[in-house]
Structure 1
Protein backbone atom coordinates (compact mmCIF):
# COMPACT_ATOMS: atom_id res chain seq x y z
CA UNK A 1 0.00 0.00 0.00
CA UNK A 2 1.28 3.44 -0.91
CA UNK A 3 1.49 5.98 1.90
CA UNK A 4 1.72 9.74 2.09
CA UNK A 5 3.27 11.64 4.97
CA UNK A 6 3.46 15.36 4.13
CA UNK A 7 2.81 18.28 6.47
CA UNK A 8 2.43 21.99 5.67
CA UNK A 9 2.22 24.41 8.60
CA UNK A 10 2.25 28.18 8.90
CA UNK A 11 2.50 29.83 12.28
CA UNK A 12 4.66 31.66 14.79
CA UNK A 13 7.45 30.41 17.04
CA UNK A 14 6.37 29.94 20.65
CA UNK A 15 9.93 30.16 21.97
CA UNK A 16 13.46 30.82 20.75
CA UNK A 17 14.97 27.98 18.68
CA UNK A 18 16.88 25.34 20.68
CA UNK A 19 20.06 24.38 18.79
CA UNK A 20 22.09 21.31 19.72
CA UNK A 21 24.51 18.97 17.99
CA UNK A 22 24.53 15.19 17.65
CA UNK A 23 27.66 13.30 18.77
CA UNK A 24 28.74 13.20 15.11
CA UNK A 25 28.49 17.01 14.88
CA UNK A 26 25.23 17.39 12.94
CA UNK A 27 23.18 20.43 13.95
CA UNK A 28 19.56 19.91 14.98
CA UNK A 29 17.18 22.64 16.07
CA UNK A 30 13.79 22.31 17.73
CA UNK A 31 11.25 25.08 17.29
CA UNK A 32 7.85 25.30 18.90
CA UNK A 33 5.19 26.43 16.44
CA UNK A 34 1.72 27.84 17.19
CA UNK A 35 -0.71 27.40 14.31
CA UNK A 36 -3.89 29.47 14.62
CA UNK A 37 -7.29 28.52 13.23
CA UNK A 38 -10.48 30.57 13.08
CA UNK A 39 -13.88 29.07 12.39
CA UNK A 40 -17.56 29.79 12.96
CA UNK A 41 -19.43 27.70 15.49
CA UNK A 42 -23.04 26.55 15.09
CA UNK A 43 -24.23 29.96 16.38
CA UNK A 44 -22.18 31.84 13.78
CA UNK A 45 -19.71 33.11 16.37
CA UNK A 46 -16.06 33.27 15.36
CA UNK A 47 -14.00 30.86 17.44
CA UNK A 48 -10.23 30.65 17.66
CA UNK A 49 -8.08 27.65 18.46
CA UNK A 50 -4.35 27.11 18.54
CA UNK A 51 -2.45 23.93 17.71
CA UNK A 52 1.06 23.68 19.18
CA UNK A 53 3.58 21.60 17.25
CA UNK A 54 7.28 20.85 17.80
CA UNK A 55 9.39 20.94 14.63
CA UNK A 56 12.92 19.60 14.15
CA UNK A 57 15.21 20.87 11.39
CA UNK A 58 18.63 19.44 10.66
CA UNK A 59 22.10 20.36 9.34
CA UNK A 60 22.63 23.83 7.82
CA UNK A 61 18.91 24.55 7.95
CA UNK A 62 19.04 24.08 11.75
CA UNK A 63 21.86 26.59 12.09
CA UNK A 64 20.05 29.14 9.91
CA UNK A 65 16.89 28.79 11.97
CA UNK A 66 18.90 29.33 15.16
CA UNK A 67 20.64 32.38 13.66
CA UNK A 68 17.61 34.17 12.17
CA UNK A 69 14.49 33.08 14.07
CA UNK A 70 13.26 34.03 17.52
CA UNK A 71 10.10 33.80 19.60
CA UNK A 72 7.22 35.22 17.55
CA UNK A 73 8.88 34.76 14.13
CA UNK A 74 6.39 33.70 11.43
CA UNK A 75 7.42 30.65 9.36
CA UNK A 76 6.08 28.20 6.80
CA UNK A 77 7.21 24.60 7.36
CA UNK A 78 7.05 21.68 4.95
CA UNK A 79 7.95 18.29 6.31
CA UNK A 80 6.69 14.96 7.54
CA UNK A 81 5.09 13.69 10.70
CA UNK A 82 7.37 11.64 12.92
CA UNK A 83 6.55 9.59 16.04
CA UNK A 84 9.23 9.69 18.74
CA UNK A 85 9.43 7.39 21.76
CA UNK A 86 11.83 7.54 24.69
CA UNK A 87 12.13 6.58 28.33
CA UNK A 88 11.65 9.40 30.84
CA UNK A 89 13.76 9.95 33.97
CA UNK A 90 11.09 8.11 35.97
CA UNK A 91 11.49 5.01 33.78
CA UNK A 92 8.13 5.52 32.06
CA UNK A 93 7.86 5.23 28.28
CA UNK A 94 7.01 8.54 26.65
CA UNK A 95 5.99 9.37 23.10
CA UNK A 96 4.83 12.26 20.95
CA UNK A 97 4.39 13.32 17.37
CA UNK A 98 6.56 16.05 15.91
CA UNK A 99 7.33 17.37 12.44
CA UNK A 100 10.67 16.71 10.74
CA UNK A 101 11.17 19.76 8.52
CA UNK A 102 12.29 19.33 4.94
CA UNK A 103 11.91 23.06 4.30
CA UNK A 104 11.55 26.12 6.52
CA UNK A 105 10.59 29.43 4.93
CA UNK A 106 11.04 32.61 6.92
CA UNK A 107 8.04 34.94 6.55
CA UNK A 108 7.53 38.62 7.25
CA UNK A 109 4.84 39.75 9.69
CA UNK A 110 2.17 39.72 6.95
CA UNK A 111 2.86 36.07 6.15
CA UNK A 112 4.73 36.68 2.87
CA UNK A 113 8.10 35.14 2.06
CA UNK A 114 10.83 37.30 3.61
CA UNK A 115 13.40 38.18 0.95
CA UNK A 116 15.29 35.16 -0.34
CA UNK A 117 15.45 33.35 3.01
CA UNK A 118 14.16 30.04 1.68
CA UNK A 119 16.45 27.21 2.69
CA UNK A 120 15.81 23.75 1.23
CA UNK A 121 17.36 20.63 2.65
CA UNK A 122 16.77 17.28 0.96
CA UNK A 123 16.96 14.33 3.36
CA UNK A 124 16.13 11.65 0.80
CA UNK A 125 18.69 9.26 -0.66
CA UNK A 126 17.87 10.20 -4.23
CA UNK A 127 18.31 13.46 -6.11
CA UNK A 128 15.25 15.58 -5.50
CA UNK A 129 16.50 18.96 -6.67
CA UNK A 130 14.18 21.93 -6.80
CA UNK A 131 14.16 24.49 -9.56
CA UNK A 132 14.05 28.07 -8.35
CA UNK A 133 14.29 29.70 -11.77
CA UNK A 134 11.64 32.29 -12.56
CA UNK A 135 9.04 30.68 -14.79
CA UNK A 136 10.37 27.18 -14.21
CA UNK A 137 7.71 24.62 -14.94
CA UNK A 138 5.51 27.09 -16.82
CA UNK A 139 4.67 26.20 -20.39
CA UNK A 140 3.09 28.43 -23.02
CA UNK A 141 0.26 26.47 -24.58
CA UNK A 142 -1.92 27.83 -27.33
CA UNK A 143 -5.63 26.98 -27.14
CA UNK A 144 -5.27 25.04 -30.41
CA UNK A 145 -2.77 22.68 -28.69
CA UNK A 146 -5.30 21.51 -26.07
CA UNK A 147 -6.89 18.21 -27.22
CA UNK A 148 -10.42 18.95 -25.93
Structure 2
Protein backbone atom coordinates (compact mmCIF):
# COMPACT_ATOMS: atom_id res chain seq x y z
CA UNK A 1 0.00 0.00 0.00
CA UNK A 2 1.27 3.44 -0.91
CA UNK A 3 1.76 6.21 1.66
CA UNK A 4 1.61 9.00 -0.93
CA UNK A 5 -0.60 12.02 -0.24
CA UNK A 6 -2.34 14.12 -2.87
CA UNK A 7 -4.44 16.78 -1.10
CA UNK A 8 -4.72 20.52 -1.62
CA UNK A 9 -6.68 23.25 0.16
CA UNK A 10 -7.08 26.71 -1.37
CA UNK A 11 -9.02 29.87 -0.62
CA UNK A 12 -9.27 32.40 -3.40
CA UNK A 13 -11.53 34.19 -5.86
CA UNK A 14 -12.98 32.88 -9.11
CA UNK A 15 -11.43 34.56 -12.15
CA UNK A 16 -14.41 33.83 -14.41
CA UNK A 17 -17.93 32.43 -14.26
CA UNK A 18 -18.10 28.63 -13.99
CA UNK A 19 -18.53 26.80 -17.28
CA UNK A 20 -20.88 23.81 -16.93
CA UNK A 21 -20.50 21.00 -19.47
CA UNK A 22 -21.46 17.35 -19.67
CA UNK A 23 -19.27 14.38 -20.56
CA UNK A 24 -20.38 11.88 -23.24
CA UNK A 25 -21.73 9.68 -20.44
CA UNK A 26 -23.85 12.57 -19.08
CA UNK A 27 -21.77 13.47 -16.03
CA UNK A 28 -21.76 17.19 -15.20
CA UNK A 29 -18.41 18.96 -14.93
CA UNK A 30 -17.91 22.61 -14.09
CA UNK A 31 -14.60 24.18 -15.16
CA UNK A 32 -13.37 27.00 -12.92
CA UNK A 33 -10.29 29.11 -12.41
CA UNK A 34 -9.24 30.47 -9.02
CA UNK A 35 -6.73 33.18 -8.11
CA UNK A 36 -4.92 33.00 -4.78
CA UNK A 37 -2.89 36.05 -3.75
CA UNK A 38 0.33 35.90 -1.78
CA UNK A 39 1.92 38.98 -0.24
CA UNK A 40 5.63 39.25 -1.06
CA UNK A 41 7.99 41.62 0.71
CA UNK A 42 9.96 43.72 -1.77
CA UNK A 43 13.57 44.86 -1.37
CA UNK A 44 12.41 48.37 -0.43
CA UNK A 45 10.37 46.93 2.47
CA UNK A 46 6.96 47.36 0.85
CA UNK A 47 4.53 44.51 0.31
CA UNK A 48 3.11 43.51 -3.06
CA UNK A 49 0.46 40.91 -3.87
CA UNK A 50 1.44 38.19 -6.31
CA UNK A 51 -1.36 36.17 -7.88
CA UNK A 52 -1.29 32.41 -8.43
CA UNK A 53 -3.86 30.91 -10.79
CA UNK A 54 -5.21 27.37 -10.69
CA UNK A 55 -7.66 25.42 -12.87
CA UNK A 56 -10.42 23.50 -11.07
CA UNK A 57 -12.88 20.81 -12.08
CA UNK A 58 -16.05 20.29 -10.03
CA UNK A 59 -18.04 17.16 -10.85
CA UNK A 60 -21.55 15.72 -10.64
CA UNK A 61 -24.51 17.05 -8.68
CA UNK A 62 -22.30 19.50 -6.82
CA UNK A 63 -21.34 21.12 -10.16
CA UNK A 64 -25.00 21.43 -11.19
CA UNK A 65 -26.24 22.66 -7.80
CA UNK A 66 -23.59 25.33 -7.32
CA UNK A 67 -23.45 26.57 -10.93
CA UNK A 68 -25.48 29.74 -10.40
CA UNK A 69 -23.33 30.79 -7.40
CA UNK A 70 -19.94 30.25 -9.05
CA UNK A 71 -19.49 33.68 -10.57
CA UNK A 72 -16.44 35.81 -11.25
CA UNK A 73 -15.14 37.42 -8.06
CA UNK A 74 -16.79 34.92 -5.66
CA UNK A 75 -14.47 33.85 -2.89
CA UNK A 76 -14.44 30.09 -2.38
CA UNK A 77 -12.60 27.52 -0.31
CA UNK A 78 -11.83 24.18 -1.92
CA UNK A 79 -10.31 20.89 -0.92
CA UNK A 80 -9.28 18.54 -3.68
CA UNK A 81 -6.62 16.48 -5.44
CA UNK A 82 -4.16 17.35 -8.16
CA UNK A 83 -4.62 15.52 -11.46
CA UNK A 84 -2.43 15.77 -14.51
CA UNK A 85 -4.37 15.86 -17.77
CA UNK A 86 -2.60 14.89 -21.00
CA UNK A 87 -3.72 15.25 -24.63
CA UNK A 88 -2.41 15.64 -28.15
CA UNK A 89 -2.73 19.12 -29.67
CA UNK A 90 -4.95 18.86 -32.78
CA UNK A 91 -3.09 21.65 -34.63
CA UNK A 92 0.53 20.80 -33.89
CA UNK A 93 0.31 17.10 -33.05
CA UNK A 94 2.43 17.67 -29.92
CA UNK A 95 1.66 16.09 -26.57
CA UNK A 96 0.37 18.59 -24.01
CA UNK A 97 -0.39 18.41 -20.32
CA UNK A 98 -1.64 20.55 -17.47
CA UNK A 99 -2.39 20.07 -13.79
CA UNK A 100 -6.02 20.50 -12.72
CA UNK A 101 -7.46 20.33 -9.21
CA UNK A 102 -10.36 17.87 -8.97
CA UNK A 103 -12.53 19.49 -6.30
CA UNK A 104 -13.88 17.18 -3.63
CA UNK A 105 -15.36 19.84 -1.32
CA UNK A 106 -16.27 23.43 -2.13
CA UNK A 107 -17.50 26.10 0.26
CA UNK A 108 -18.87 29.43 -0.91
CA UNK A 109 -17.47 32.39 0.97
CA UNK A 110 -17.85 36.09 0.14
CA UNK A 111 -19.82 37.04 -2.96
CA UNK A 112 -18.65 39.85 -5.23
CA UNK A 113 -20.13 43.26 -4.35
CA UNK A 114 -22.25 43.39 -7.53
CA UNK A 115 -23.60 39.85 -7.22
CA UNK A 116 -27.32 39.03 -7.46
CA UNK A 117 -26.71 35.68 -5.71
CA UNK A 118 -26.01 36.86 -2.19
CA UNK A 119 -27.30 33.79 -0.38
CA UNK A 120 -25.27 31.39 1.68
CA UNK A 121 -25.25 27.89 0.27
CA UNK A 122 -24.94 24.68 2.24
CA UNK A 123 -24.12 21.50 0.30
CA UNK A 124 -25.56 22.96 -2.89
CA UNK A 125 -28.84 24.11 -1.34
CA UNK A 126 -29.43 27.83 -0.72
CA UNK A 127 -30.14 29.01 2.79
CA UNK A 128 -32.39 31.99 2.05
CA UNK A 129 -32.73 32.88 5.72
CA UNK A 130 -29.03 33.77 5.93
CA UNK A 131 -28.83 36.69 3.53
CA UNK A 132 -25.58 38.55 3.12
CA UNK A 133 -24.60 42.20 2.86
CA UNK A 134 -23.90 43.47 -0.66
CA UNK A 135 -20.19 43.17 0.15
CA UNK A 136 -20.71 39.43 0.59
CA UNK A 137 -20.21 39.25 4.34
CA UNK A 138 -22.92 37.49 6.33
CA UNK A 139 -25.19 39.62 8.45
CA UNK A 140 -24.42 39.36 12.13
CA UNK A 141 -27.07 38.08 14.49
CA UNK A 142 -28.66 40.61 16.85
CA UNK A 143 -26.59 41.18 19.97
CA UNK A 144 -27.55 38.92 22.82
CA UNK A 145 -28.15 40.39 26.25
CA UNK A 146 -25.85 39.20 28.97
CA UNK A 147 -27.87 37.79 31.86
CA UNK A 148 -27.52 39.41 35.25
CA UNK A 149 -25.90 37.35 38.01
CA UNK A 150 -29.37 36.71 39.46
CA UNK A 151 -30.42 35.09 36.15
CA UNK A 152 -27.44 32.72 36.03
CA UNK A 153 -27.96 29.37 37.67
CA UNK A 154 -25.42 27.27 39.54
CA UNK A 155 -23.73 25.73 36.48
CA UNK A 156 -23.41 28.91 34.39
CA UNK A 157 -26.40 28.36 32.10
CA UNK A 158 -28.93 31.12 31.61
CA UNK A 159 -32.22 30.63 33.31
CA UNK A 160 -35.64 32.12 32.79
CA UNK A 161 -37.31 34.13 35.55
CA UNK A 162 -39.63 31.86 37.46
CA UNK A 163 -37.28 28.89 37.31
CA UNK A 164 -36.29 27.82 40.79
CA UNK A 165 -32.99 25.89 40.60
CA UNK A 166 -31.51 23.31 42.92
CA UNK A 167 -33.03 20.72 45.11
CA UNK A 168 -32.45 17.51 43.16
CA UNK A 169 -29.61 15.00 43.52
CA UNK A 170 -26.18 16.56 43.00
CA UNK A 171 -27.76 20.01 42.68
CA UNK A 172 -29.77 19.26 39.51
CA UNK A 173 -33.43 20.22 39.67
CA UNK A 174 -35.93 17.50 38.96
CA UNK A 175 -39.03 17.96 36.80
CA UNK A 176 -41.15 18.52 39.89
CA UNK A 177 -39.26 21.76 40.72
CA UNK A 178 -40.47 23.85 37.78
CA UNK A 179 -42.75 26.79 38.64
CA UNK A 180 -44.13 27.16 35.10
CA UNK A 181 -47.69 26.19 34.32
CA UNK A 182 -48.30 23.54 31.69
CA UNK A 183 -49.34 25.37 28.49
CA UNK A 184 -52.36 23.16 27.68
TM-score by length of 2: 0.58
Q: Which runs of 5+ in 1 are unaligned?
A: 120-148
Bigger-Rg structure (1/2):
2
Look up the match of 1:115. Answer: 120
**Pairing 1:102–2:104 present:** yes
Instruction: Give, in whole Å, the separation in 2 of the partners of 1:60 and 1:80.
Output: 18
Cα offset for 1:89?
A: 1.6
Higher relative contact order (CA 8 A, sep 6+): 1
Q: Where do 4+ consecutive residues of structure 1 move more than 2 Å?
A: 41-44, 114-119
Count of residue correspondences? 116
Distance (Å, rounded) in 1 between the aligned partners of 2:37 and 2:105: 20
Deviations 1:71-103 (A, max 9, x none): 111100100111110111221111011100000
Q: TM-score, normalised by structure 1?
A: 0.72
- Which residues of 2 match residues 1-148 of structure 1 at below 5 A? 1-90=2-91, 91-109=93-111, 115-119=120-124
Relative to its length, the structure with more strand (as a share) is: 1
Q: CA deviation at 1:66?
A: 1.5
Q: Kindly state the Cα deviation for residue 69 of structure 1 after the two structures are TM-superposed.
A: 1.4
Unaligned runs of 5+ in 2: 113-118, 125-184
CA RMSD of aligned residues (A): 1.8
